[in-house]
Amino acid sequence: MAGPRRGKEAAGCLLLLLAVLTCSLRCGESLKSSNIVLILTDDLDVDLGGLTPLKKTKALVGDAGVTFSNAYTATPLCCPSRSSILSGKYPHNHMVRNNSLSGNCSSKAWQSGPENQAFPIYLSKKLYQTFYGGKYLNQYGSKEAGGVTYVPPGWDQWHALVGNSQYYNYTLSVNGKAEVHGDNYEKDYLTDLILNRSLAFLDERSPQHPFFIMLSPPAPHSPWTAAPQYQKSFGDVKAPRDGSFNKPGKDKHWLLRQPPNPMVNSSIDYLDNAFRKRWQTLLSVDDMVERLVKKLEDVKELNNTYIFFTSDNGYHTGQFSLPIDKRQLYEFDIRVPLLVRGPGIQPKQTLQNPVMNIDLPMTILDIAGVNVSTLNMDGQSFLPQLVPSARNGTSRPYFLVEYTGEGHLPTDPYCPKLGPGLANCFPDCVCEDAFNNTYACVRTFKDYNLQYCEFADNEAFVEVYNLTADPYQLENIVKKVDPALLQTMNQRLIKLQSCEGKSCRDLKNTLNDRVYISAI
């Protein structure tokens, strides 16, 4: 009888082994990390209706998941903001001050420091297949920054624009080799080109490993070149005339007091034209999102892919009589769109807890299974807000926005009366920046909706806004607020300006500030 018993035991073991192998294969499939897509537009506002042309994007990403109504950039300028997104750090820690090489944009110091700890490196260690397409950092590809042969670590496929945003007549670094493009729409239009290459990447990838795609189209940044089929769109659209449009910069920093008010007609015509063209360029971005979502669906990856849609900073067109630009401390420049869809995210949600662009890498790495508590980043993961069942999370009570002003020592020959130290003086000699347009702000939502800003200038100028009573920041209430509240906000600002890593997240309210705000 021993023989048959042994035979049954052997058969049972074989069945168990087959079950274990089958389970292992299936478990391996189910445990594959989620894919991630990050679409980063350039200069897309949210306060002035920047999402209006993006109907498909709002439906396919926002309505399918979460719209964050209070998403902010750590600084309202392209290169420092993008450096924050890559590194998860405030500008005072990654040390990128502006869009120039001397301002540390894509410099050797950046490359040997923060870029060597940027989030794509961690994704690569988690065996993510990574793809980059579009604008990277404003000085990327310049000779002083290593030229087109330099490919930042962590990227498997690299299709990065050399220099600042362009739609035609640009050079790409394609995996370290220069690729020159002209002005043929079918071959060269950058928004479409990076999309098409990302779709090819999806076809060529290995299905055994997750992927990360980052697309950074030029829209809606100048020179606002729309695709041919969209160049007549929005013909009757003008910049919004409500809020702070064409208002004087009363009681504000001197740079906001220098534009003539009311604005001259030529400036208004200029900004209206820019506003229309910006919207026209966004229609191709909307097509990009639609085609990418369709492709993810076709390759059966949509249900396992998180899609983030955002911008590096906001924008203004006529607010406080400033024609067009960013760089200012006001909501229209520091608030950005943020839409997210993905596994476990319930559709049609609007979340009001504040999040920042320094939180993006922490959230992405959290999704990828990295232990984010070990990372020396200033941001925090907002995955618990996206998928509350994932784990407990906390919302920051306040945060920092900082900016280092940029100017030119020679006087602008077209605007000689303005003197030296200014920059971006257009049109009609209205300047958008200056050396002493250097500020740091505490923005808070807990208990009240307040912004407190200090300028590094010889006036030690301070601006304070109660955005519940004054959503357009028309009145600087610094002289009306209880001095105890000003002292509290100053202490918070000092702490934030020196924070690093965990200390940027461990923030607590120190006073019952409602006592002071109620008196405003």
The question of whether 415 is a catalytic residue gets the answer no
Q: State how far the Cα of 222 lies from the Cα of 227, in Å rounded to an integer.
A: 14
Closest CA to 183 of 167, 195, 160: 167
Peptide bond into 223 cis (omega under 30): yes
What phi, psi does 325 have (nearest 5°)? 165, -160
Biggest CA–CA distance in the chain, Å, is 109
Q: State how far the Cα of 189 lies from the Cα of 342, in Å rounded to an integer.
A: 29
What pairing do the DSSP bridges indicate for beta strands 66-68 and 349-351?
Answer: parallel
Neighbours of 299 (CB within 10 A): 14
Retrieve residue 398's tokens. Answer: 């306040």
Angle between helices 265-298 and 190-204 (to 10 degrees): 10
Quick one: three-class SS letters along 327-350? CCCCHHHHEECEEEECCCCCCCEE
What letter does residue 429 receive in the DSSP assignment?
T
Residue 14, judged by CB atoms within 10 A of its CB (0-12, 13-18, 19+), counts as exposed
Retrieve residue 499's tokens. Answer: 């924070």
Closest CA to 519 of 487, 482, 483: 482
Please list, in sequence order, all residues whose beta carbon lies within 8 angstroms of the beta carbon of residue 57, skipping any fewer than 6 positions away: 51, 285, 286, 289, 290, 309, 339
Closest CA to 490 of 500, 480, 502, 478: 478
Contact 245, 450 (CB under 8 A): no
Closest CA to 93 of 400, 443, 461, 441: 400
* Catalytic, out of 13, 23, 27, 78: 78
Peptide bond into 220 cis (omega under 30): yes
Q: State how far the Cα of 438 lies from the Cα of 425, in Å rounded to an integer.
A: 17
Residue tagged 């050396």 (tokens): 435
Contact 248, 227 (CB under 8 A): no
Residue 238, judged by CB atoms within 10 A of its CB (0-12, 13-18, 19+), counts as middle
Q: State how far the Cα of 297 lies from the Cα of 429, in Å rounded to an integer.
A: 50
Q: State how far the Cα of 376 lies from the Cα of 93, in Å rounded to an integer.
A: 11
Contact 134, 215 (CB under 8 A): yes
Instruction: Just list the catalytic residues.
Output: 78
